[in-house]
Chains A and B, each alone.
Chain A
Amino acid sequence: MDEKIAPHLEELTRALGDLEKTGIRAEFEKLIAFRVPPDVAKESILRKYGGKRKVLKVKDLSANLKNFELTGRILDIGEKSIRPQAGAQEKPSRLYTGVLADETGAVLFSSWRKLPGSIGDVINIKNAYTRIWQNRIRLSIGEQSPVSKISDSSLPSLSELSASQKKKLIDIGAVDFSVDTVACVLQLSYREILVKGRQSRVISGVLADETGRLPFTAWIELPGIDIGNIILIEGAQVRMFRGVPSVNILSSTKVSSIGLDEAEKLAFTFESAAKDPTPIKIQEINSRYSMFDVCIAGNLVSVRPGSGIISRCPECSRVIQKGNCRVHGKVEGIWDMRIKAILDDGTGSVLVMFPRELAEIIYGKTLEEAEQLMFSDVSKDAVYEDLRRFLTGRYLAVRGNSSKNEFGVSFVAENAWVPEDDLAVRVVELLRRLGPDEEEGQEKNSQVSRGGIELA
């Protein structure tokens, strides 16, 4: 038996490294014990851990990555014990959590094993994976993730990595914890909310610079700061909400107004930052983790299933199936309408969600009219079919927020319209770019009539 499996183990060692240390050998032997043929066992283990291992930087991390290698400096580490669920036979186990950073950003991690290093040390992790936890990407170091300490590393020092990074709004994302930025206050409003049973006042609003916009929340008073001010924010915390980062101003954050002469050196003014966003290429949306308040335009190449009339749970607003809510069981659903469609401009494609108000506008039918259609038709998909017939191929501009999740990039529309830019102007510009006819006269005519023959 051993003779049979030896070459397979050898191959696995070559592909995956030290089998003993990572427990892969134990897993292989378990499969053999369950009468899995050795070559099949090898295949499934290779599939699970193998493949070409990618070396990533923190900024490249996204949801649900598997089997990659990452090197970073430990910024923070702590441990907590996890009590097993009642009835489980396992011993209480320890979870080590903290923050790992490289020159591109920082990421939360969690490990089920003690790491060979403490704050300030550089570690290398192989076969790591990511999960989404509390709206953020979390780096998971599992039982089968070899971790080694690297003594000499070119990574920036601890103090450099933990200092706030000065960033433009567009570059702020899930890999930032503490940032500095200069931006202009576009919107600002006060809200009263309950925090730990105490009524407190928070400020929420929107910041803008020449690169983009982001929402912000201030948990402290901001005396003298109002819409139109350009401010320097130092040491703000970044939080993620529905996949979009938001700048959090806490008591440890420094906020100051920018002087007039300083402001003149900036690449934006309140007027330029407050302008409505113009459409960008969908390619740009696809290349970023999230974007706040941007505008895109393209053709609706596909209306997705799940569009049309849906029924929501009156308690939690989840979409319900056949009168059953996933959480609240049998409920009397509330009718709602939404559209999910793929918007594509030739450079990228994105799933756009239109809530009821927008769905009614672009469909041209109200929820009540759509309900009538649903009840008057035998097909239960009557509204979906009608939507497809009406919308597929149409050209639309939308404004809203985009974010990446495990299903790809999705865009929640807050506004939608049919753009009315002047095609004639664009045609003139295109003809100019194409240059003059090189072969006027005879040549050109034969060219065109060739096109004519082709049509025949």
Chain B
Amino acid sequence: MLKREVAKRVFAREFEACRELEKSERADSEAADSKTPNLLISPMGLILNRVFVVGVITELDNIGTQSEMWKARIVDPTGAFTAYAGQYQPEASIFFSTVQVPAFIALTGKARTYEPEPGSVFVSIRAEEVNVVDEEIRNRWVVDTAEQTVERLEAFSDALASGYRGEKLREYLLGKGISSEFTEGIMIALERGRSPDEFAKLLRSSIREGLKTLDLDSENSTDAKADQKEFVLELLKEMGGSKGVDYAAFMDAAASRGISEQVVEEVIRFLLAGGQCYEPKIGIIRLVG
């Protein structure tokens, strides 16, 4: 019986910090089996291969020379994933050849790393299945992923604070009800020791910012920020159309209507992180949808 691999929920910020997990680092006896997948490990000890991400597809290129090879950029509130689909992922390729950029998409795929030279590692996803989804599914993914990441962050901080190492740490974590896989991951991550607490802090603030950008019920919010946001959005629609608008020109236009530069910046940042607009080119803002 071959167990289907779980599609892990992970934010782009943590995903891009993942590195290859050497087979020798794995304790289980199956590690020697050639059928075991190539696993990655994050600085927080998350061991993964298959992932499920929901975000905004903001860029799409056909980079294939002889055959089709699609490269897509998918943005979540903490950063961006790079996904590929080629001739061996026919369904995903067909999807990418027809999808309109930008759009909210859900993607399942396998994690891959590419290290062109020592020290520079590119982490990407080889797409398996992709589909267009709505904003509600995107929001739910962000909250689900945040919940699972926060749970892991808490276990990780706990492990760090316990001061235990090696077998003692394993016992401690298993005793706390942490799964054996994640326990293994935390132990390996701590051994690798690239100032894990720094990254944990970064990830925490990144998730915090990401959650704050979620636009959960825009109809009901009556506070000033929502109003301003609405206004800036309207202005963007008015000026940009489908081509997008020059950031500097937009700033001037907003200022002429009595909105401070600071507020415009904040709203744009909010919209960018929330995936409601993006920058096709530096200095150009374009609305999603």
Contacts of A345 on B, CB cut-off 8 Å? Answer: 144
Q: A299-B106, A433-B150, A449-B269 are in contact. Are A344 and B52 (CB under 8 A)?
A: yes
| A47 contacts chain B at the CB level, 8 A cutoff | no
Known contacts being A283-B179, A406-B1, A430-B211, is A455 close to B7, with CB within 8 Å?
no
Do the beta carbons of A393 and B209 come within 8 Å of each other?
A: no
How distant is A51 from chain B, measured CB to nearest CB, in Å? 9
7 A-B pairs, CB-CB below 8 angstroms? A299-B106, A301-B108, A388-B129, A426-B147, A427-B214, A437-B208, A455-B279
Selected contact of B52 from candidates A301, A430, A448, CB within 8 Å: A301
User: Contact between B154 and A423 (Cβ–Cβ < 8 Å)?
Assistant: no
Q: What chain A residues lie within 8 Å of B54 (beta carbons)?
A: 393
B208-245 CB mask vs A (1 if < 8 Å, else 0) is 11011010110000000000000000000000000000
Bound-complex Cα distance A133 to B288 (A): 57
Asked if residues B204 and A435 are in contact (CB atoms below 8 Å), the reply is: yes
* B27 contacts A by Cβ under 8 Å: no
- Which listed segment binds A: B82-90, B110-118, B132-140? B132-140
Q: Give, as a whole number of angstroms, the nearest-CB distance from A110 to chain B.
A: 21
| A64→B137 CA distance, assembly (Å) | 39
Check A448 against B209 for contact (C-beta < 8 Å).
yes
Residues on the A chain within 8 Å of B161, using CB: none
Q: How big is chain B's contact interface, by range?
A: 35 or more
B144/A431 in contact, CB under 8 A: no
How far, in angstroms, from A456 to B269 measured CA to CA in the complex?
11
- Per-residue interface assignment for chain A, residues 399 to 442, with 1 indicating a CB less than 8 Å from any chain B CB and 0 otherwise: 00000001110000000000000011011001101110111000
Q: Produce 1/0 per residue, A370-413, CB < 8 A to B.
A: 00000000000000000011001111000000000011100000
Q: Tell me if B3 is interfacial: C-beta within 8 Å of chain A.
A: yes
* Contact yes or no, B129 A392, CB < 8 A: yes
Q: Is A224 an interface residue (CB 8 A)?
A: no
Please state if A447 and B209 are interface contacts (CB–CB under 8 Å). Answer: yes
- Residues on A facing B (Cβ under 8 Å): 52, 62-64, 282-283, 286, 299, 301-302, 342, 344-349, 351, 388-389, 392-395, 406-408, 423-424, 426-427, 430-431, 433-435, 437-439, 444, 447-449, 451-452, 454-456
- Report A455 CB to chain B, min CB distance, Å: 5
Nearest chain A residue, comparing its CB with the CB of B16: A454
Tell whether A64 pairs with B273 under 8 Å between CB atoms, given A424-B217, A434-B204: no
Expressed in whole angstroms, the Cα–Cα distance for A389 and B78 within the complex equals 27
Is B78 a contact partner of A346 (Cβ separation < 8 A)?
no
Contact pick for B131, options A344, A388, A431, A447, CB 8 Å: A388
Q: Smallest CB-CB separation from A350: which chain B residue? A: B4
A residues in contact with B2, CB < 8 Å: 408
Q: Which residues of A contact B7 (CB under 8 A)?
A: 299, 301, 344, 346, 349
B8 at the interface (CB under 8 A from A): yes
- Does B133 lie within 8 Å of A393, measured CB to CB? yes
How far, in whole Å, are A392 and B52 apart by their CA atoms in the complex? 11
Q: State the CA gap A351–B140 with chains docked (Å).
A: 21
Instruction: Among A286, A435, A447, A455, point to the contact of B278 (Cβ < 8 A).
Output: A455
Confirm or deny: B62 has a beta carbon within 8 angstroms of a beta carbon on chain A. no
Q: Is the CB of B206 within 8 A of A451?
A: yes
Secondary structure call for the B interface: mixed
Q: Nearest residue in B to A385 (C-beta to C-beta)?
A: B91
Q: Which partner residue on chain A sits nearest B216 by CB separation? A: A424
A444 proximity list for chain B (CB < 8 A): 205
Closest residue of chain B to A436, judged by CB? B208
- Which residues of A have CB within 8 Å of B80? 454-455
8 closest A-B pairs by beta carbon, nearest first, are A393-B106, A392-B131, A346-B9, A393-B131, A301-B108, A393-B133, A344-B7, A456-B282
Measured CB to CB, the closest approach of chain A to B251, in angstroms, equals 14
With a cutoff of 8 Å between Cβ atoms, the chain B residues found around residue A434 in the complex are 150, 204, 207-208, 211
A-chain residues with CB within 8 Å of residue B21 when the two chains form the complex: none
Closest to A407 in B: B1
- Is the pair A451, B150 in contact by a Cβ cutoff of 8 Å? no
Most buried by B among A282, A388, A394, A395: A395
Q: Do B78 and A451 touch across chains, with their CB atoms under 8 A apart? A: yes
A424 to B106, CA, bound (A): 21
A430 near B143 with CB under 8 A, answer yes
B205: chain A residues at CB < 8 Å are 437-439, 444, 447
Which of A351, A408, A451 gathers the greatest number of chain B CB atoms within 10 Å? A451
Q: In the complex the two chains form, is A302's CB within 8 Å of B129's CB? A: yes
Of B137, B143, B269, B282, the residue contacting A448 (CB under 8 A) is B269
Does residue B272 face the partner (Cβ distance < 8 Å to A)?
Answer: yes
CB–CB B131/A451 < 8 A? no
| Chain A residue with Cβ nearest B275 | A455
B137 touches A302 (CB 8 A): no
Q: How far is the CA of A114 from the CA of B145 in the complex (A)?
A: 56
User: At the interface, yes or no: B29 with Cβ under 8 Å from chain A?
Assistant: yes
Instruction: Determine which of A282, A449, A451 lies in contact with B79 in the assembled complex, contact meaning CB atoms within 8 Å.
Output: A451
Distance in Å: Cβ of A38 to nearest Cβ of chain B: 24
Q: Are A426 and B143 in contact (CB under 8 A)?
A: yes
Q: Is the CB of B6 within 8 A of A452?
A: no
A16 and B8 alpha carbons, distance in the complex (Å): 39
Q: Which of B6, B54, B130 has the most CB of A within 10 A?
A: B6
Task: Given A301-B52, A408-B3, check contact A455 B75 (CB 8 Å).
Answer: yes
Q: Give B173 Cβ to nearest chain A Cβ, in Å.
A: 16
| A389 close to B131 (CB less than 8 A) | yes
